[in-house]
Structure 1
Amino acid sequence: MSTTGLRRMAPRDPAEAHRAASPLELLFDLVFVVAVGFAATNLHEIETEGHVSSAIVSYAFVFFAIWWAWINFTWFATSFDTDDWLYRVTTFVQMGGVLVLAAGVRPLMVDGDPAIVVVGYVVMRLALVGQWLRAAASAPGYRRTALRYAVGIVVVQALWVLALVLPEAALRGAIPVLILLEVLVPPVAERGSRTTPWHTRHIAERYSLFTLIVLGEGLVASASAVIDGLEHTDHLGSLLVLAAAGLVIVAGLWWIYFAREQHARIRSLPSALVFGYGHYVVFAAAGALPAGIEVAVSADAGEADLSHVTVAATIAVPVALFVLAVWALALRPSLSLGWNAVVVVLAAAVAVAASVVVPAVSLVATAVLVAAIVVVLEVADRRRRLRTRAGSGRAVSRRARPGRRPG
């Protein structure tokens, strides 16, 4: 360490033993969950007013900004976390950008004004540019990759700022293009040169922790249903059913996500991109679930201008998307799952989405189907362990069997 208290930003060992999320990373996640909570709250309010399609589009855009800033910091940190004072201060600047973005969630989702969200987003992204430039100066082996990241991020952020002066119709057309440019930066930066040293277990832990705290928002929504029920005893029974079903759903989604270890899915640049980008659906669906529970509470109180099918869909669709995304990212590649279990999981996820056509039973059906998926995964895992144990026993028996004596 130099006299300034700074460490050389050398690449971290991708095989480092006992690598775990740092306290700074955990604080970083909590700040992001504030923005996720704001997005879910506004999604609930706009959906309750009957503007479901516009709510979904604005939520998807806001969540992209949240998710993309989080994912880029997470992958950078697994490779170059020095945890000195400058690294911490730069990370705190990113957190400040998150809070600015959170303040702009309502203006964007309600009024269609993206200015504050873009400002907060650009602050987060440019702070990461400083980190990449520092990595370029400290790690010659990764200099080309780091500089590509820095240049790519700066160019796209300049385009975001310029897009704010466009007419509303032109801005709507520009946003998908800018999102595409954002997601192209990592594959362009990493391709054709030395890829950054990812610690796969650390990455998997970081994703699982963020999934965990986003799912926790669903528990808060279920608790709110109970509180509302106690305050409005004429709806107590239906709200208790809603709260219980919400608890079963959240617990089941947690169980499904953690049913298989995911670090082995990150083997190369393409698999890392699939793993990282695919989690947008996991995070966004988990973040939308609390909004769906709150919509159901509002509908039960007669405060939602929505059809019964739409109310059911605000819960069933995020749950189905979550299960399908986890199946694609973690369950499908698992050779131990078995085709029968794969078919059951897929059929159950489709049934969850289809349950909205019978809205009176959709909530309970969703909870039951999620619980059924958990049972299937546990049975499949038990069979795998029994087969492994039996195979080990046969191998030991063969080794212990005396060989033939020479004649």
Structure 2
Amino acid sequence: MTTIGLRRMRPRDPAEGHRAASPLELLFDLVFVVAVGFAATNLHEIEAEGHISSAIVSFAFVFFSIWWAWLNFTWFATSFDTDDWLYRVMTFVQMAGVLVLAAGVGPAMQDGSFTIVVIGYVVMRLALVGQWIRVAASTSEYRATALHYALGITVVQALWVAILFLPEGWPRFVAPVLILLEVLVPVWSESRAQTTPWHTHHIAERYSLFTLIVLGEGLVASASAVIDGLRHAEHLGPLLVLAAGGLVIVAGLWWIYFSHEQHDHIRGLPSALVFGYGHYFVFAAAAAVPAGIEVAVSADAGEADLSHASVAATIAVPVALFVLAIWALALRPSLSVGWNTVVVVLTLAVLATIAVPEVSLVATALLVAAIVVVLEVADARARR
């Protein structure tokens, strides 16, 4: 340890026992959920106005910026969390970037103005560059990997800043290219040098906790929408059905996600990339479900400019996406062909409920509950 209280940023032991999320990591997650909540709220508002396609595109882009910064911090921390004062300060800088990004979510999704989002995003990413430089200075084994990360992230951030100066309309065409470059940086960095030492149990716990927080945010948002609707509704029956159905759906998604251990699916770089990147769909779908429930509440009050089928789709589609994503990432390898087929068929049936929008919510809730039952029965038979 040096005289100014810094530790050398050496790799953590990937086999370390009882490795759990730190208080700093938990606070980090909570700050990110603020941005996720803003994104879900704006998704609901744009969907309720009848602009489904633009709502999905803007939400997908904004959510990528939130998720990608969280993912990179999480995988870095599992390998190099020294928890000294500089590490904490740099993490707080990333949190500040999240709050700036959160302030820009509304303008980005409502008006297509991404300046504030890009500024917040770049702040988060450049703070992580500083952490990678510390790694390069602290350990020769991972110096090349760290320098690849630092260089790749810095170049892409410069490009993000550059698109703010492009003529109006051009950024929407350039942004997908930059997103592709972002997701290629870890592939390039990890495959060309020493792979960083992930703690698989720690990573699985971090992903589980973030899923839990996002689903909990969904419960709060859905409850708030239903309570607000109850104040103005003349007929309580439909709102009570929405409240009950939303609770069953969120509880079922929680049950499905936590029905199987996930750490053993991270075995090397390819599986780590699939696990890490695939969770974009899990997180985004979990954040979109409460927006759909809020749209249904607005539609019940006559405040949504949507067809009944479109209202049903705002719930059924993210629910089906969540189940299919976690099935592909964690459930499929643990189930037999027969049980896998049943889960997929029930999930596709969730999408089919859009054709009968009058009962779509109830049917979706029942189908999610049926998937939970299937997983429990399959697990019980496997144990026997």
> TM-score range with shorter-chain normalisation?
over 0.9
C-alpha distance in 2 between matches for 1:174 and 1:225: 36
Alpha-carbon displacement from aligned partner over 1:47-66 (angstroms, at most 9, x marks no partner):
11111111110000000000
The one of 347, 355, 358 aligned to 1:357: 355
- 1:220 offset after TM fit, Å? 1.1
Contact 2:312 2:354 in 1 (8 A): yes
Contact 2:257 2:326 in 1 (8 A): yes
Q: How does 1:119-198 map to 2 (within 5 A)?
A: 119-198=119-198
Aligned-partner residue type, residue 292 of structure 2: G
C-alpha distance in 2 between matches for 1:231 and 1:113: 34
SS of residue matched to 2:6: coil
Distance 1:348 1:354, change over 3 A: same
C-alpha distance in 2 between matches for 1:235 and 1:74: 46
- 1:333 offset after TM fit, Å? 1.5
Runs of 4+ aligned structure 1 residues displaced above 6 Å come to: none
Distance 1:11 1:71, change over 3 A: same
Q: Which residue of 2 aligns with 1:373?
A: 371
- 1:193 offset after TM fit, Å? 1.8
Contact 1:222 1:244 in 2 (8 A): no
Q: How does 1:220-231 map to 2 (within 5 A)?
A: 220-231=220-231
Alpha-carbon displacement from aligned partner over 1:282-326 (angstroms, at most 9, x marks no partner):
000001111101000000000000000000000000000000000
Aligned-partner residue type, residue 59 of structure 1: F
C-alpha distance in 1 between matches for 2:44 and 2:254: 22
Q: Which residue of 1 aligns with 2:209?
A: 209
SS of residue matched to 1:179: helix
C-alpha distance in 1 between matches for 2:293 and 2:16: 41
Alpha-carbon displacement from aligned partner over 1:86-129 (angstroms, at most 9, x marks no partner):
00000000000000000000011011100000000000000000
Aligned-partner residue type, residue 23 of structure 1: P
- 1:328 offset after TM fit, Å? 0.3
User: What is the aligned-residue RMSD (CA, Å)?
Assistant: 0.8
C-alpha distance in 1 between matches for 2:227 and 2:90: 40
C-alpha distance in 1 between matches for 2:91 and 2:124: 9
- 1:225 offset after TM fit, Å? 4.1
Contact 1:218 1:246 in 2 (8 A): no
1:91 aligned to 2:77? no
Is there any run of 5+ residues in structure 2 with no aligned partner, and where? none
Q: Which residue of 2 aligns with 1:403?
A: none
SS of residue matched to 1:140: coil
Aligned-partner residue type, residue 108 of structure 1: A
Contact 1:215 1:286 in 2 (8 A): yes
Identical-pair percentage: 79
Aligned-partner residue type, residue 363 of structure 2: A
Contact 2:282 2:322 in 1 (8 A): yes
Contact 2:90 2:131 in 1 (8 A): yes
Q: How does 1:269-280 map to 2 (within 5 A)?
A: 269-280=269-280
SS of residue matched to 1:144: helix
C-alpha distance in 1 between matches for 2:324 and 2:192: 32
C-alpha distance in 1 between matches for 2:170 and 2:333: 41
- 1:233 offset after TM fit, Å? 4.5
1:347 aligned to 2:331? no
SS of residue matched to 1:141: coil
Alpha-carbon displacement from aligned partner over 1:152-195 (angstroms, at most 9, x marks no partner):
00000000000111112221110000000000000000003210
Alpha-carbon displacement from aligned partner over 1:234-258 (angstroms, at most 9, x marks no partner):
1311001000000000000000001
Q: Which residue of 2 aligns with 1:75?
A: 75
SS of residue matched to 1:332: helix
Contact 1:265 1:330 in 2 (8 A): yes
Distance 1:355 1:196, change over 3 A: same
Aligned-partner residue type, residue 213 of structure 1: I
Q: How does 1:60-71 map to 2 (within 5 A)?
A: 60-71=60-71
Contact 2:229 2:297 in 1 (8 A): no
1:7 aligned to 2:7? yes
SS of residue matched to 2:169: helix
- 1:338 offset after TM fit, Å? 1.7
Contact 2:229 2:301 in 1 (8 A): no
Contact 1:69 1:125 in 2 (8 A): yes
Is there any run of 5+ residues in structure 1 with no aligned partner, and where? 387-407
C-alpha distance in 1 between matches for 2:342 and 2:235: 35
- 1:30 offset after TM fit, Å? 0.2
Aligned-partner residue type, residue 114 of structure 1: F
Q: Which residue of 1 aligns with 2:104?
A: 104
- Structure showing greater Rg: 1
C-alpha distance in 1 between matches for 2:27 and 2:229: 33
Aligned-partner residue type, residue 141 of structure 1: E
Contact 2:145 2:192 in 1 (8 A): no
C-alpha distance in 2 between matches for 1:226 and 1:49: 19
SS of residue matched to 1:346: helix
C-alpha distance in 1 between matches for 2:21 and 2:340: 32
Aligned-partner residue type, residue 326 of structure 1: I
Q: Which residue of 1 aligns with 2:287?
A: 287
Say which is worse superposed, 47-56 or 221-230, in terms of deviation: 221-230
SS of residue matched to 1:133: helix
Contact 2:230 2:239 in 1 (8 A): no
Contact 1:229 1:240 in 2 (8 A): no
